[in-house]
Amino acid sequence: MKVLGVIPARYGSSRFPGKPLLEIKGKTMIQRVYEGAIKSKLITDLVVATDDERIIEEVNRFGGRVMLTSSEHPSGTDRCAEVLSHFQNIDVVINIQGDEPLVDPEQIDSLLQVFTNDKVEIGTLGIDQVSMEDLQNPNRIKVVVDHEDRALYFSRSAIPNFANAKGDPLTSYPYLRHVGLYAYRAQTLREITSLEPTSLETTESLEQLRWLFYGYKIQVVKTHIETPNIDVPEDVEKVLRFL
């Protein structure tokens, strides 16, 4: 299985501009992500995909592989699809978040292993370490799955609703929190990036709902690993504590 790893990295983040070049204990964030991802045993090619020359210079400096992609892409998924168009004979593409400097290669490989099943089109991760704060936090995405761990729905709300739960709501249902690492069959990635956005996706601001709406199956792999990402400057301290 040939696996293309793509690390989308935008300079112009609205909440934290320039964060891929943030220095964390002597290394930039994008270097830490790259060095973590390259340790994967299953990724055969790894590329940083960016729309900014400053990030290109930095990746070249530490010896990584980088590609300039369009500044018009609405999501990292679209950026992954552009990188894929420059490769041949790729079976699976994995989208590695460029704001997770502590990315765990074991977690990457556990997700990629699911593609040994030829029926899997898209894979992602879920973790069952869920608090009441998580359920009520719209920035913590929740997911419900069927009996084969395929996603039924993702939401910023608590799903299922626990209004009728008896006792502790957290014990009434095995809640899952989504961990935003995605992998796709190469052909599936080409297809989903050509789909028209849906009102469901817009309402929740979750692009994976578009894929479900059009009938694609998303396999959810259970994980016990979660590493902090950096969305805003206040998140840096969490990463420093881990380091």
DSSP state, residue 21? G
Q: For residue 15, what pLDDT is reported?
A: 63
> Under 8 Å CB-to-CB from 233, ≥6 apart: which residues?
16
CA distance 222 to 128: 8
Here the tokens at position 55 are 């990030």
Contact 184, 93 (CB under 8 A): yes
Pick the CATH number of 3-234 from 3.40.50.2000, 1.10.3720.10, 3.40.50.1950, 3.90.550.10: 3.90.550.10
CA distance 108 to 139: 22
Helix (H, G, I), strand (E, B) or coil at 109: helix
Here the tokens at position 21 are 């070049």
Q: For residue 23, what pLDDT is reported?
A: 87
CA distance 126 to 144: 9
Q: For residue 166, what pLDDT is reported?
A: 80
Here the tokens at position 38 are 């390259």
Query: Among 97, 27, 230, which residue's Cα sits nearest to residue 238?
Result: 230
Domain ranges for the chain, please list them: 3-234
Helix axes of 105-112 and 29-37: crossing angle, nearest 10 degrees: 50
Q: For residue 170, what pLDDT is reported?
A: 86
Q: For residue 82, what pLDDT is reported?
A: 97
pTM: 0.92
The per-residue pLDDT string of the chain (243 residues; one tens digit each, 9 = 90 and over) reads 999 999 999 887 656 667 888 888 899 989 999 999 999 999 999 999 999 999 999 999 999 999 999 989 999 999 999 999 999 999 999 999 888 888 899 999 999 999 999 999 999 999 999 999 989 989 889 999 999 999 999 999 999 998 888 878 888 889 999 998 999 999 999 999 999 999 999 999 999 999 999 999 999 999 988 776 666 566 666 666 666
